[in-house]
């Protein structure tokens, strides 16, 4: 179901027709990511482990920059949002109360011949089925579904809980079972009152959190799109019931869409999609996904959810602690409602990476460019000596890099000829290159080359820091 029943939500850029993906073949990105050190398969020397990926030197910079940009827009620039870093392991009652133990599951079918397992709702021909239909015992036979790999027969669906279990303490018994959190949100709910009191916040206010979550996904895949270990960036706004939630929803959905656009994602490849009532998660009263046109179709990038008082009421009832709020201005006591904007750090970084990718012909040669926003680019500046055998050039280039790296990530490279060095930096998204040449020894100036226009400008060495800080400030959304 695609949006926009609610006219108060501005969805500029929501495309009415299907958009072309930035990259037709996902393998192009997977291969660049590995070759240039953005993302590696986990534990590769042992054959890898499904659905876990490691971030290499450039990937960790990119993902840190994504998380920093999110934090700045969500926490730093807002007086009504504060941060939290709750533990991954929580009291197991949290997950019983939240409904995850009972309801956080996907419909699983298994091939009786090859034993492969599938998420029923991802098999061809199941697109239009409602969750209730997906749970029907005869759905597989009624639709004539078979194993996509070997055409063997499939079992009837059963619910498969996505939470990872482990044991706390030295004894592996039922009483010691705890879970790896499947979302960061619960940390904000169970710490809601501590945070509100300590930060002296009045409703409405928000708690933001960035951290790892774990889901034992039945069918992970599409590179880092769906993993079993991943990182979330979640904002929970605690608001007045009903109209406070409507206002927060209408504020945050367009704000979140804008955030992706401001950091360079093409508006044509972004849209908002409202969940049908029978598609809503167990906690949600309303949900709209921010979706991106990935090479494998329109998929969720982030979810904006109105969770009502589901979480706080249930935690209050189960724990016996009051989580209600007394509003002195109206003299009313109520349980705050929650509106969340739940994003994935990996999915966001992946999206920025794909959307930034372009190939172009320059003087009959293919140039690959990652047109990343300067704030997201792993390195802001590369410092390249024209002649690596000239000690004076090399020494000045190192001195420049060392100076700049106090302010932002800068890299030195002299392992190829200058043309090749420029191309390498284009391919990893470095917005500016500095070339230290023989003239630099005379005029104490260097050539600065712009990644996108490829224009070059002579800038004095003394001015470089201010020059780049000015450019970074100007690019900031």
Task: Decide: is 122 part of the binding site for ligand GAP (CB under 6 A).
Answer: no
Q: How far is the CB of 295 from ligand GAP (least distance, A)?
A: 16
Instruction: Please give the Cα distance from 291 to 302 (Å, whole number).
Output: 7
Part of the chain binding ligand GAP (CB under 6 A), chosen from 75-83, 116-124, 200-208, 226-234: 226-234
Task: Decide: is 344 part of the binding site for ligand GAP (CB under 6 A).
Answer: yes
Q: How far is the CB of 225 from ligand GAP (least distance, A)?
A: 6
For ligand GAP, the closer CB: 185 or 393: 185
Please identify which residue in the block is written with the tokens 């047109």.
Answer: 371
Q: What are phi and psi of 187, to 5 degrees?
A: -60, -40
332-334 and 365-370 beta bridge pairing: unpaired
Instruction: Please give the Cα distance from 465 to 468 (Å, whole number).
Output: 6
Q: Where are the alpha helices (DSSP H) in 24-111?
A: 26-35, 57-71, 92-97, 100-103
Maximum pairwise Cα distance, the chain: 82
CB 18 within 8 A of CB 293: yes
In angstroms, the first-to-last Cα distance of the chain is 31
Part of the chain binding ligand GAP (CB under 6 A), chosen from 11-19, 63-71, 325-333, 335-343: 335-343
Part of the chain binding ligand GAP (CB under 6 A), chosen from 80-88, 242-250, 300-308, 387-395: 300-308
Q: How far is the CB of 302 from ligand GAP (least distance, A)?
A: 5
Task: Decide: is 53 part of the binding site for ligand GAP (CB under 6 A).
Answer: no
Instruction: Please give the Cα distance from 87 to 211 (Å, whole number).
Output: 9
Task: Decide: is 351 part of the binding site for ligand GAP (CB under 6 A).
Answer: no
Task: Decide: is 209 part of the binding site for ligand GAP (CB under 6 A).
Answer: no
Sheet holding 445-450, edge to edge: 410-412, 381-385, 432-436, 445-450, 456-460
Among 21, 211, 303, 336, binds ligand GAP (CB under 6 A): 303
Task: Decide: is 300 part of the binding site for ligand GAP (CB under 6 A).
Answer: yes
Task: Decide: is 285 part of the binding site for ligand GAP (CB under 6 A).
Answer: no
Q: What is the DSSP letter of 73?
A: I
Interface of this chain with ligand GAP, residues 126 to 185, rule: CB under 6 A: 183, 185
Part of the chain binding ligand GAP (CB under 6 A), chosen from 16-24, 40-48, 56-64, 301-309: 301-309
What Å distances lie between residue 144 and 122, 162, 418, CA to CA?
15, 27, 60
Instruction: Please give the Cα distance from 472 to 374 (Å, whole number).
Output: 7
Closest CA to 157 of 181, 176, 131, 178: 131
Task: Decide: is 311 part of the binding site for ligand GAP (CB under 6 A).
Answer: no
Instruction: Please give the Cα distance from 433 to 455 (Å, whole number).
Output: 11
Token representation of residue 103: 């309801």
Q: How far is the CB of 72 from ligand GAP (least distance, A)?
A: 19
Closest CA to 334 of 476, 471, 203: 203
For ligand GAP, the closer CB: 70 or 412: 70
Among 340, 355, 414, 426, binds ligand GAP (CB under 6 A): 340
Interface of this chain with ligand GAP, residues 384 to 423, rule: CB under 6 A: none
Closest CA to 305 of 287, 280, 282: 287
Instruction: Please give the Cα distance from 317 to 323 (Å, whole number).
Output: 9
Q: How far is the CB of 110 from ligand GAP (least distance, A)?
A: 20
For ligand GAP, the closer CB: 55 or 432: 55
For ligand GAP, the closer CB: 232 or 447: 232
Among 63, 119, 226, 256, binds ligand GAP (CB under 6 A): 226
Minimal CB distance residue for ligand GAP: 344
Number of residues forming the site for ligand GAP (CB under 6 A): 19
Among 9, 188, 257, 342, binds ligand GAP (CB under 6 A): 342
Q: What are phi and psi of 383, to 5 degrees?
A: -110, 120
Among 53, 55, 230, 432, binds ligand GAP (CB under 6 A): 230
Instruction: Please give the Cα distance from 362 to 312 (Å, whole number).
Output: 58
Part of the chain binding ligand GAP (CB under 6 A), chosen from 106-114, 117-125, 330-338, 342-350: 342-350
What's the angle, vertex CA 55, arms to CA 218 and CA 28, rounded to 5? Answer: 75
Task: Decide: is 111 part of the binding site for ligand GAP (CB under 6 A).
Answer: no
CB 62 within 8 A of CB 353: yes
269 CA to centre of own chain: 16
Task: Decide: is 227 part of the binding site for ligand GAP (CB under 6 A).
Answer: yes
Q: How far is the CB of 229 from ligand GAP (least distance, A)?
A: 8
Task: Decide: is 437 part of the binding site for ligand GAP (CB under 6 A).
Answer: no
208 SS3 class? strand
CB 193 within 8 A of CB 164: no
Q: What are phi and psi of 404, to 5 degrees?
A: -65, -30
Q: How far is the CB of 263 from ligand GAP (least distance, A)?
A: 15
Interface of this chain with ligand GAP, residues 177 to 196, rule: CB under 6 A: 183, 185
Part of the chain binding ligand GAP (CB under 6 A), chosen from 27-35, 131-139, 323-331, 343-351: 343-351
Task: Decide: is 119 part of the binding site for ligand GAP (CB under 6 A).
Answer: no
Q: Which residues contact ligand GAP by CB under 6 A?
A: 183, 185, 215, 217, 226-227, 230, 232, 234, 300-303, 340, 342-344, 346-347
């Amino acid at each position: 179901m695609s949006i926009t029943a609610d006219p108060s939500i501005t969805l500029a850029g929501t495309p009415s027709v299907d958009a072309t993906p930035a990259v037709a073949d996902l393998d192009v990105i997977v291969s660049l990511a590995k070759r240039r050190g953005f993302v590696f398969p986990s534990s590769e020397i042992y054959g890898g482990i499904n659905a876990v990926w490691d971030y290499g030197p450039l990937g960790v910079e990119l993902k840190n920059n994504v998380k920093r940009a999110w934090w700045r827009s969500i926490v730093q620039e807002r007086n009504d949002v504060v941060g939290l870093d709750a533990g991954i392991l929580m009291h197991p009652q949290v997950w019983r109360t939240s409904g995850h133990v009972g309801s956080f599951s996907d419909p699983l079918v298994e091939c009786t011949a090859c034993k492969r397992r599938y998420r029923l709702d991802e098999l061809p021909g199941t697109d239009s089925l409602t969750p209730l239909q997906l749970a029907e015992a005869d759905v597989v036979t009624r639709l004539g579904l078979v194993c996509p790999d070997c055409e063997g027969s499939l079992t009837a669906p059963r619910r498969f809980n996505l939470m990872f279990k482990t044991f706390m303490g030295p004894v592996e018994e039922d009483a010691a079972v705890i879970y790896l959190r499947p979302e960061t949100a619960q940390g904000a709910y169970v710490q809601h009152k501590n945070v509100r009191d300590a930060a002296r916040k009045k409703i409405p206010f928000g708690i933001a959190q960035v951290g790892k979550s774990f889901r034992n996904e039945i069918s992970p895949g599409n590179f880092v799109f769906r993993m079993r270990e991943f990182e979330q960036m979640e904002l929970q706004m605690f608001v007045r019931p009903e109209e406070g939630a409507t206002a927060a929803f209408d504020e945050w959905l367009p704000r979140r869409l804008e955030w992706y656009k401001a950091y360079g994602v093409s508006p044509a490849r972004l849209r908002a999609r409202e969940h049908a009532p029978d598609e809503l998660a167990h906690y949600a009263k309303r949900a709209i996904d921010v979706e991106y046109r990935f090479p494998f179709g329109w998929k969720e990038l982030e979810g904006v959810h109105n969770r009502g008082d589901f979480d706080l009421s249930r935690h209050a009832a189960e724990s016996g602690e009051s989580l209600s709020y007394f509003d002195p201005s109206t003299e009313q006591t109520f349980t705050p409602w929650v509106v969340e904007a739940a994003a994935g750090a990996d999915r966001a970084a992946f999206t920025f990476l794909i959307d930034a990718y372009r190939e172009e012909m320059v003087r009959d040669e293919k140039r690959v460019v990652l047109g990343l926003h300067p704030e997201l680019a792993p390195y802001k500046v590369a410092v390249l000596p024209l002649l690596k055998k000239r000690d004076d050039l090399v020494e000045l280039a190192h001195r420049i890099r060392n100076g700049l790296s106090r302010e932002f990530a800068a890299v030195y490279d002299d392992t190829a000829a200058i043309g090749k060095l420029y191309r390498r930096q284009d391919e990893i998204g470095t917005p500016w290159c500095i070339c230290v040449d023989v003239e630099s020894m005379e005029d104490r100036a260097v050539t600065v080359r712009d990644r996108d226009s490829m224009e070059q400008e002579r800038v004095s060495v003394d001015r470089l820091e201010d020059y780049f800080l000015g450019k970074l400030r100007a690019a900031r959304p």
